[in-house]
């Protein structure tokens, strides 16, 4: 039997909205009001290999506090289980400085001390900040199940009895303090919008009219290490690898998973299916950072890792400009061509170095 041609898969259908819904999202006074939708993508590890100070994350948060993006998508690992300072100490847990004293803490408490507290301080300094954070776990997170797909981060470890006297430390991620920071006495403000959204890995998000697909698992590297190719046009390899995800309608189209790189729960395989074709697909990878259009309407972004061993890494800033008011006011029929273009012509991606 000899193969004569390759039949590619078909992308899932795209999410569609009416002209009136787009007008509300793009030009509504309580939404974008004619301004670009700003998304920042940060991917762990968030601290360098030689310490647990989380300085790159602090620098990124200061930039976020200054720029005030609408959404920040943070992909783990937040507490990197591959780092010797996290998993060493004879299994007792990481040791950090708290109020001038060295203390051995749980993985959850390290998250609360070094991640949640940074977000809490940011909101304390600017309680009116409208930036919302989306937290996506990673298979490398020391306090998460290392099986794909992953459930959202939780403030308490289910099924674990908390030792007396450690209630504020064991299994507590401290995210409730982020929600209350600067608005402890304003219940209406707390109910008005959530600052932190914990989602699964992978997940599909709807941000106004934009569909964003996210997986923190390095599926691009996994595919690249197992693929065969020949006679490729220069510069097309990463785009072609990313295209497999959309064409096969899966956030993890590789089977079996590479040994030692990922563990799949096949009983939950439907949870890594791609329900719609995303406008933006965020796939963090140790491969070269890039932002490229695939299949005409999806922009795939690899923001890179925020740290590279002992130095700072990269992150992505994504700006999606609104459609013109005149286009939306004139109705769908007069502007069907422009309405169906997707977001790639209105989108700008900058890969920044921290």
Greater pLDDT, 169 or 152: 152
* 65 or 256: which leads in pLDDT: 65
What pLDDT sits at residue 296? 82
Alpha-carbon span 265 to 354, nearest angstrom:
35
Q: What is the pLDDT of residue 303?
A: 97
Residue 254 pLDDT > 70: yes
For residue 350, what are the contacts with CB-CB under 8 A and spacing of at least 6? 316, 317
- In angstroms, rounded to a whole number, what is the distance separating the alpha carbons of residues 351 and 318? 9
Cis peptide before 202 (omega within 30 of 0): yes
Q: Which two tokens stand for residue 139?
A: 């298979």
Q: For residue 93, what pLDDT is reported? A: 76
pLDDT at 338: 54
Provide the pLDDT for residue 95: 86
Q: Say what the pLDDT of residue 336 is.
A: 45
Is residue 330 pLDDT above 80, yes or no? no
Spell out the domains of the chain, with CATH numbers in brackets.
Answer: 19-353 (3.60.21.60)
Average pLDDT, the chain: 88
What gap in Å lies between CA 302 and CA 223, rounded to an integer? 15
Q: How confident is the model at residue 340 (pLDDT cuts 50, 70, 90)?
A: low
Write down the pLDDT at residue 30: 86
Coil, strand or helix: which one is 79?
Answer: coil
Asked if 273 and 215 count as a contact pair (C-beta separation under 8 A), the reply is no
Read off the pLDDT band of 345 (50, 70, 90). confident
What are all long-range contacts of 29-32, with beta carbons under 8 Å and residues at least 24 apart?
A: 31/208, 32/208, 32/322
The pTM is what? 0.91
Q: What is the structure's pLDDT at 158?
A: 46
Q: What is the pLDDT of residue 159?
A: 46
- Confidence check: pLDDT of 339 > 60: no
What pLDDT sits at residue 341?
A: 60
Chain segment 31-48, per-residue pLDDT in tens: 999 999 999 999 999 999
What's the mean pLDDT in 257-285? 93
The string of pLDDT tens digits covering residues 220-239 is 999 988 777 777 776 688 88
Which H or E run contains 326? helix 325-329
Q: What is the largest CA-CA distance in the chain?
A: 73
Per-residue pLDDT tens for 162-193? 455 444 455 578 898 899 999 988 888 888 88
Average pLDDT over residues 312-336: 81
Determine what percent of the chain is predicted with pLDDT higher than 90: 59
For residue 212, pLDDT over 60 is answered with: yes
DSSP-based three-state secondary structure for 85: helix
Mean pLDDT for the stretch of residues 44-56: 94
Q: How confident is the model at residue 320 (pLDDT cuts 50, 70, 90)?
A: very high
- On whether the CB atoms of residues 211 and 278 are closer than 8 A, the answer is yes
Higher pLDDT, 68 or 95: 68
> In which residue are the tokens 């459930």 written?
151
8-state DSSP, 115: I
- Mean pLDDT score, 78-98: 83
Choice between 329 and 34, residue whose per-residue pLDDT is larger: 34
Helix (H) or strand (E) holding 84: helix 84-87
> Which has the higher per-residue pLDDT, 187 or 352?
352
Residue 92 pLDDT: 66
């Amino acid at each position: 039997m000899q193969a004569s041609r390759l039949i590619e898969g078909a992308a899932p259908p795209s999410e569609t909205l009416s002209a009136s819904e787009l007008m509300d999202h793009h030009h509504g006074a309580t939404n974008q009001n004619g301004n670009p939708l700003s998304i920042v993508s940060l991917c762990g590890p968030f601290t360098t290999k030689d310490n647990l100070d989380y300085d790159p994350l602090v620098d990124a948060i200061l930039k976020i506090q200054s720029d005030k993006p609408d959404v920040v998508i943070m992909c783990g690992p937040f507490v990197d289980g591959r780092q010797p300072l996290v998993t060493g100490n004879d299994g007792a847990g990481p040791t950090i400085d708290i109020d001038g004293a060295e203390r051995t803490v749980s993985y959850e408490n390290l998250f609360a001390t070094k991640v949640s507290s940074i977000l809490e301080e940011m909101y304390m300094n600017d309680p009116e900040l409208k930036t919302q954070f989306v937290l996506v776990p990673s298979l490398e997170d020391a306090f998460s199940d290392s099986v794909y797909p992953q459930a959202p981060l939780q403030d308490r470890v289910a099924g674990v009895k908390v030792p007396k006297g450690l209630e504020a430390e064991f299994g507590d991620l401290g995210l409730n303090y982020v929600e209350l920071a600067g608005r402890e006495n304003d219940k209406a403000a707390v109910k008005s919008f959530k600052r932190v959204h914990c989602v699964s890995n992978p997940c599909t998000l709807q941000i106004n009219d934009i569909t964003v697909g996210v997986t923190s698992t390095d599926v691009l590297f996994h595919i690249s290490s197992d693929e065969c190719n020949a006679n490729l046009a220069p510069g097309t390899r990463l785009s072609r690898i990313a295209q497999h995800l959309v064409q096969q309608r899966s956030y993890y189209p590789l089977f079996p998973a590479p040994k030692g790189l990922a563990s799949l729960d096949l009983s939950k395989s439907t949870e890594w299916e791609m329900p719609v074709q995303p406008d933006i697909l965020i796939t963090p990878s140790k491969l070269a950072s890039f932002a490229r259009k695939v299949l005409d309407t999806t922009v795939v972004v690899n923001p890179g890792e925020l740290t590279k061993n002992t130095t700072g890494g990269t992150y992505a800033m994504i700006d999606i400009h609104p459609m013109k008011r005149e286009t939306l006011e004139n109705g769908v029929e007069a502007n069907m061509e422009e309405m169906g273009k997707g977001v790639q012509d209105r989108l700008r991606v900058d890969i920044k170095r921290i």
